[in-house]
Chains A and B, each alone.
Chain A
């Protein structure tokens, strides 16, 4: 890993991001910011059969926050929710291929925080919906 964070692959990803914009038929949307520096990232996923069919992001902020969101958006497409649940933060840092200082990790991992929140929200929704989906009088056990 390099200490030079402003490399061409980062600058290129920032200037020509993957799926920056809005997804009309999203299953889930989440947005978060880093109030100290003002970075903001929104991610939108369309989930079908437990798998991310399509992912888009938008936001504004420093090169690292936006390039990381773009890399992660490309990465999550095709992955199952189970795979995303297991994805470690290090995966985002690996995608960036540069070594981030502690303060810049907050920028680089903002998108990861957004993604994880979406996964937890989907899990939460499922756990709330599932008991009701069992018809009365029938035990699921």
Chain B
């Protein structure tokens, strides 16, 4: 058992799934610390990375202080302990995403590594000239460029699901682009700019009907609600733990066993082999086949603690809390003159609001908000094709997590008004 106390934010009783945000905030040490400019932190850059609760930090310290060793190797007490902890974390991931088998959980360094793994290990073996890979313009570069590059390399074609004017996938046009030639459809569960929550169930069913695999980038969706890779059934899911209250440097690739087994390896080296000969190599079974070298062990164990933390609060409470914040922000910001929110209405949106303010460049907006302690992201958010489509060079993005409060949404809106005053607009 970790030395950390139980989460203070555990809900009062299972029937009342309401999030006690003040108790949650006490779990995150950074939220109490003044910034260098003396301001109190209002952290609204959660889509970039979330803060870490003390339960996760304590687990990482426990690991380094008590059982630092390599996994799957040492025939000694520490090696045994660390391997047990790591495999327990893998089992927590399996349960968290509803996978059938723990061997289907591959630890990677993050979503980007997970996408690259599949694009290369699957693409090199199965993509042929004339085949098609289906993506769309709202994808983050990490779920865009790997597919683009493997398509170029293999002589395959990249096809795009068109977007509606409000930034959703236009499924009325899906039959035009999802064809018998489509071998894989890659789609984000939730756009990191528009906040759009995509209809994975329908896409998965229609891709399967065409014999195509479906790859879901869960970097933004997994941190905000329950996911089950068997319902709707998907072939791949990727996510990064650092956006889910866990450490950086660790992520997950879920792959359906049959697909993972058919794929060749990606990175080669230690741990991923069964037997090496001078002229060839037999590869290890899943998941080791895709975990060459020493994986981020401590981060993976910290990931387990982060999943425990989220489970202790519960998705129902987290989702309701975040949805209320998003609604409040959406309504208050819409009322500010000159503010334009990009993306769909609230019913299709997760806890991300990207916006522009007339006459104020997003970079300047972010700097002015920072003066008030409000951390947001400004730029193209690694979605250049989407910004080209929107005819915007950049947007400012506020994104919410379980520890944010209604007062922080008020602070954001006051900050936007302050920026308008500085820019002589209000």
Chain A contacts to B: CB under 8 angstroms: 5-6, 11, 36-40, 60-64, 104, 107
Interface residue total, chain B, C-beta cutoff 8 A? 15
**Quick one: given A38-B393, A38-B394, A62-B361, are A6 and B422 in contact (CB under 8 Å)?**
yes
Q: List residues of chain A with CB within 8 A of the CB of B422.
A: 6
In the complex, are the beta carbons of B393 and A40 less than 8 A apart? yes
Contact of A63 among B361, B379, B387, B393 (CB under 8 A): B361
Known pairs A61-B363, A62-B363; A37 contacts B423 (CB<8 A): no
Distance between A82 CB and nearest chain B CB, rounded to angstroms: 34
CA distance A37 to B378 in the complex (A): 7
Min Cβ gap B378→A in Å is: 7
Among A11, A37, A40: residue with most chain B CB under 10 A? A37
Are B361 and A61 within 8 A (Cβ)? yes
Chain B, 378-392, contact with A by CB distance < 8 Å: what is the 0/1 string? 111000000100000
Is there contact, CB below 8 Å, between A37 and B363?
yes
Residues in A whose Cβ lies below 8 Å from that of B363: 37-39, 61-62, 107
**Closest partner residue, chain A, to B394 (CB atom):** A38
Interface residues in B398-426 by Cβ distance below 8 A to A read: 422-424
Residues on A with C-beta less than 8 A from B393 are: 38, 40, 60-61
B367 in contact (CB, < 8 A): yes
Asked whether, in the complex, the Cβ of B378 is within 8 Å of the Cβ of A6, the reply is no
Contact sample, A vs B, 22 pairs, CB 8 Å cutoff: A6-B423, A11-B424, A37-B363, A37-B378, A37-B394, A38-B379, A38-B380, A38-B387, A38-B393, A38-B394, A39-B363, A40-B393, A60-B393, A61-B361, A61-B363, A61-B393, A62-B362, A62-B363, A62-B364, A63-B361, A64-B364, A104-B367
A38 to B395, CA, bound (A): 10
A11 proximity list for chain B (CB < 8 A): 423-424
Residues from chain A with a CB closer than 8 A to the CB of B423 are: 6, 11
- Per-residue CB proximity of B351-393 to A under 8 Å, as 1/0? 0000000000111100110000000001110000001000001
A5: which B residues are within 8 A, CB to CB? 367
Min Cβ gap A122→B in Å is 29
Which of B361, B362, B379, B424 has the most chain A CB atoms inside 10 A of its CB? B361
A contact residues around B387 at 8 Å (CB):
38
Residue of B nearest to A104 (CB): B367
Complex-state Cα separation, A64 to B423, whole angstroms: 13
Specify which of B363, B367, B368, B387 lies most central, judged by the most chain A CB atoms within 10 Å of its CB. B363
Q: Which residue of B lies closest to A5 (CB)?
A: B367
- Known contacts A6-B422, A6-B423: does B364 contact A37 (CB below 8 Å)? no
Provide the bound-state CA to CA distance between A6 and B368, in Å. 9
B380 touches A63 (CB 8 A): no
A37 to B387, CA, bound (A): 12
Nearest chain-A residue to B424 (Cβ)? A11
A5 to B423, CA, bound (A): 11
Q: Which residue of B lies closest to A61 (CB)?
A: B361
Q: In the bound complex, what is the Cα–Cα distance between A61 and B392 (angstroms)?
A: 11
Closest 3 pairs between A and B when the two form their complex, measured CB to CB: A62-B363, A62-B361, A38-B393
Nearest CB in chain A: distance from B52 CB, A: 24
CA distance A76 to B383 in the complex (A): 36
Nearest-neighbour CB distance to chain A for B162, whole angstroms, equals 24
CB distance from B380 to the nearest CB of A (A): 5
Shortest CB distance A118–B (Å) = 23
Q: A5-B367, A6-B422 are in contact. List 16 more A-B contacts (CB 8 A).
A: A6-B368, A6-B423, A11-B423, A36-B379, A37-B378, A37-B379, A38-B379, A38-B380, A38-B387, A38-B393, A38-B394, A39-B363, A62-B361, A63-B361, A63-B364, A104-B367
The docked-state distance in angstroms from the alpha carbon of A39 to that of B379 is 9
Closest A-chain residue to B379, C-beta based? A37
Residue of A nearest to B365 (CB): A62
CB distance from A38 to the nearest CB of B (A): 4
Rounded to whole angstroms, the CA-CA distance of A64 and B378 in the bound complex is 15
Distance (whole angstroms) from the CB of B281 to the closest CB of chain A: 39
Alpha-carbon gap, A11 to B359, bound state (A): 11
Contact partners of B380 in chain A: CB under 8 A: 38
Contacts of A63 in B (CB 8 A): 361, 364
Residues of the A chain whose Cβ atoms lie less than 8 Å from the Cβ of B362: 62
* Cα-based distance from A93 to B330 in the complex (angstroms): 39
| B364: chain A residues within 8 A (beta carbon) | 6, 62-64
Q: How far is the CA of A47 from the CA of B248 in the complex (A)?
A: 52
B424 partner residues in chain A, CB cutoff 8 A:
11
Assembly CA distance A11 to B379 (angstroms): 20
Q: How far is the CA of A6 from the CA of B425 in the complex (A)?
A: 13
